[in-house]
Structure 1
Amino acid sequence: MPITFDLDRRCQEILKILVNANGYVQIGDLSEQLDVSRRSIYYDINKIDDWLRSRSLSALEQKRGKGIAIHADQAAMIRKSLFERGADKQVSYTPEERRSIILCMIVIRSRNLYIEDFMETCDVSRNTIVKDLKLVADVVETNQLTLEYRIKTGYRIFGDPIRKRAMFFYYYPQVWKYFSTLIFSESQNQRIQRALSNFKKIEEELDCEYVSGVLPGLATFLSTIEYRSDVIDFSDMDRKEIISTKEYQLVRKYFPSLSDQETIYISLHLLGSRLQVVPLHVLKQDESKAYEYARSMVKSFETLSGVEFDDKEELINAIATHLKSSLYRIRYGVQWGNPMLETIKKEYGELFDLTKRAVENVEAEMGMTINDTEVAYIALHFGAFMTPLESSKHSYRILIICPNGIGAGNMLKNEVRSMVPQATEIKNISLNQYRPDHNYDVVISTVDLPGEKDFLLVHPILSEQDRVSILRKCMELEPSTQIQMDTILKIVSRYVDEAKMPDLEKDLRTAFSNGQMSQPPIRDYGLGLLHFLTPTHLQIVDEPCNRKDALRRALRPLLMNDAITRQYIESVVQAQENHHQMFIANEVVLAHSGIDNGVKQVDVAITLFRHPVPFENGMEARIILGLSAEDQIKHIHVMNDILRVFSKKDNIAALERCKDKETMYQTIHKILKGE
């Protein structure tokens, strides 16, 4: 019989993890991934088992030392049910999802809304909704708007209509998969589907793909437009530029009843939300401000991080492509929420922080502030072009599908490459480009692909369990493993009852994949600054030095620690002679060179000069940091610590006052520990 949903979202998430795990999953891994206690996981397992039994299905397999798993013959049925249309009607929402639902309901309200409406929609108590509304009011106030309650009209948001709409489009991506079925009647949902169909036609005529959730959001927004009396003023904007676009003409074509102002507004969303604005090779240096901004961001990131990108021009073009669309969003107050934002901050916190600093350095040039949503997308682009040192021979093909943006797709591709170096090809395509009759060995996707055989469903930002599942699947399907498995199964089939062969094969495959699988590699941003600051790596120089001698003295601790060769020191000196930018703050120089110029390992030293060291253009250095990096990743934690210390004038002044190396260390320790 068909499976219906009466499980909360956490239980559903556990089921999804188990379905895609291709083997056993440890309780501890589930606890860590879902950020709940082991006790809570055991409680959820009991609920899942009851749910399975009530539908005449077997309970989860549990084996001591291995973890839990789903019976192979039931996995396909459960997986299908997890993605059936309308399956989320009875889910339990997280507090963040409830607040997003409430806020979106109020913004596009088609009737008076009261606490009872929110209680019914979210299936929670009055007290819970009251608490949620207080937090929603805080969000509204942050956006310079006001949430008010009136007996006759219920809850309403007052203020700038552009800001109100921006809030809807920011929070909608978090709940779009189930929002319309929760809120609207069948006739309203039919209107949404018709609008969505028209937006799909626009997408096809533009020969592009929009980020997941954008078109459903626009369709939902348009379905309620008749209930609003907003006056949108574009008097300060370049109307001619928008009206001349193909997007505008297509909105006119498919939505002829829209007013001119609303047509412009929808066109802006389409312009600002395209997954591919133009092919990478089309952007030229003199054709777009986006290119100049992207080049400045890359230069700033390289200066701050000590990274030198191998494919710098390709990276600049990739960021410029993203900026070309995001500039519309920033300029016109059109914003889409990044549902991956918090995950990116959690999984790639060091990279996010470094990107934020690099972007802030360019904001003055751009004349605008870049919010964290945009920073997260840009961080993914940087991460996708930062490669670990080692690469090795490959042996099979992997297809990746990620409709969450170009940066997310490239980041996912780079993660998979680091985990599965034996792959001959790892290709990243859009969902529109996917065809079931491909010839790839493994398909890794962030959206479900019913009917795909060797398939893994993962999060756009890989969780620990995602990494385990990818390794397990790829080890299982690796040609050499397959040959060994086939040989073993052929031999044991002579001695094992045929009815037991499927279970034997499953256990063997699990054993093979676990046996070959090391700890799943995660993006290792290395150790922090304090780890490296041994007494030999802190120096105070009392006598005057010229810049060449100062650079050599600052790098000497790295040479003595066998982290670099003399070639590296001379390459740093030569780079300075070639006018390479080394200052990361006033009176602070970062002395470093490329990873191919004699680097053996990550290392860093700090040298304080009592007498200012003269550099070009009248600049002087009192502190020189010597840095070496064996690849583009393992020193990122160090760089973030360096920037935390030297981004404030007071910190620099405190270090310059230090009388000895111990005081230097204690000063840096207090800054980094927040004491």
Structure 2
Amino acid sequence: MLTARELEISKKLLNSKLPIRIKDLSVEFGVSTRTIKYDLENVRGWYKSQETNVISQTNKGIWIDCNDSERMELRNILTQSESTNIYPNQTVRGRRIVMLLLLTNNYVTASDLAVDLNVSRNTILSDLNLVDEFLESWAIKLERKHRTGYRLIGNELQLRFMLEHIIYNDLDDYEIYKMTTRITKGETNFEPGTVLNEPLKRVYRIVENCMSDLFEPSLTQRLRLSDLLKIQLRLTFSVTRLNLGHTIGSYRVLDQNQHTDQVSLFVFSVMEKIHSDMQLPLLEEEYLYISGGMDLETGHMDLIDITEKMINYVGELECLDYQKDPKLFSNLLAHLSLRFQNGTLYLNEMNPIANEIKRNHGELFRNVQDACRKFIKQHAFITQDSFISYIVLHFLVSYENTFKKKTKVKVLYVCSTGRGVARLIKNRVEKEIPTIEIVAYCSLLEVEDICQHKEVDLIVSVFPVETSIPVVVVEALPTKSDIEELRDMVKLLIGIEAPVSNQLLEGSELNLVSEDSETISQEIILKGFEVIHDLLEVFPLATKENWKNAFMMHVFLMVHRYHFDKQYDQYLYTTYQIEENDEEIINKVQSILKDKDMHVHEAEIITLLQYFKKWK
């Protein structure tokens, strides 16, 4: 059996076609790499039982060896077996307890819960403290009756919204895709996993079959998949709660004549068939709940006023003047406008990093949550972790851009003499890694003196250096692997407290680095020097100095053309007849240029070929 974390790792391997590094998993889950390695032993065991190999390679990562169809089948198997093959952690157990209490009218004892979840009674009593904390944010009470058990007390609409929140929180993209396309495309052989326990599954199958029978292709133009999913699940919840005798409010019967558009008629037809078969009343408020009509009150919200008040309120609690960042207002307003557009309240919003945000920025999360409760005031939607977390992200970005000084690692570059090519390398390294600032370059003999008089966080050297300061040893002209090693070291030095800087390290904003004419010229000269050096090592064929000079000039101009995307036209290549003896030279030249990240047209290579042939 897999633990909850091992399940998440298994899903990540399925969802990624690229290797995943163990250290990245340890950071994401907040555990040591040793713990991740122990988890991977069980993950490998599960995949082995499915006749699939988990491959690992040093300095590369881990991945699974399968094609796309096998990957889809594994997702299906993992989803179906999740309820019986997973050890639930306390959070999962807490939510299952809430689900069990929602789906019964009777009191449930701690012993009953212990048997159902296969844990001890003491474990259940500890879990109920977490359940209390969860229910408090929904204004729902856990009633405790001595020698009788536990049950939930709260507004019916709140109870249903909480049920939605639990289900949506556990849904992944694959399950959403299958649950909706089974209706729109008529796919079969899919079973929802642990997101729906058995009482809900029985009703869900009835709802799904009915919706599939009545669904028309023309509805795809009027009904988004997110709306279709909401109707599916709300129909399931509505029928389940009605069977328990719980209605939202009044018993007013639904009047079909008030709902004449195609989508409304579809919802009405599905409800009419299901309620008739199950002998349930067709109530107006149940229809409004299923179709989203109860959410239309959001259309009267003054989002401009709400956005401004939220920013001021959170700023006062955080003791920060967020008004200094005009982008925060526009970005947050755009986000809220999208979420509340056309009077529709999207309760199926999901945020994959909600738990991480809540864990790492708990105080800001609570402050934003208070602001939402104070100014949005729209029933349960504002208490969803996913919704709150997205708003927290806006404040985090504002804080990083406005109040937090950008972190840079101060680097001392050590080469043989401290002069010459070091000045060119400074621009190259700083361009590749924007969070590096080379404060000085020196010879090996000057290292100690420089470190005493300058603030140095990292030494980049072409020689091993004995010092207490971190050192990265590189080639005289740093290679790709040198740059990657530098990136890793800089990430380590900056740490998790500088997400904006780390984003720069990942290269997502490298294109924003301004390049003046001096920097461009130095880059072209350096690249040209590297290409000439490597070509002459492989082809030491010069007999006349003037040919060598012409060749060097040609290479510098070729690098210049490549930089500005003005290479020779491929027409030259199509009209030139390549001889058998030319193939070996062309392959060698291509290999050298690719090593320098220059993927030039073959026309350029054929032109270089003329120099080599003349030198023979």
Q: Structure 1 length normalisation: TM-score?
A: 0.44
Which one has a bigger Cα radius of gyration?
Answer: 2
Q: Which has the higher contact order (CA 8 A, sep 6+)?
A: 1
More helix by share: 2
Q: Structure 2 length normalisation: TM-score?
A: 0.47
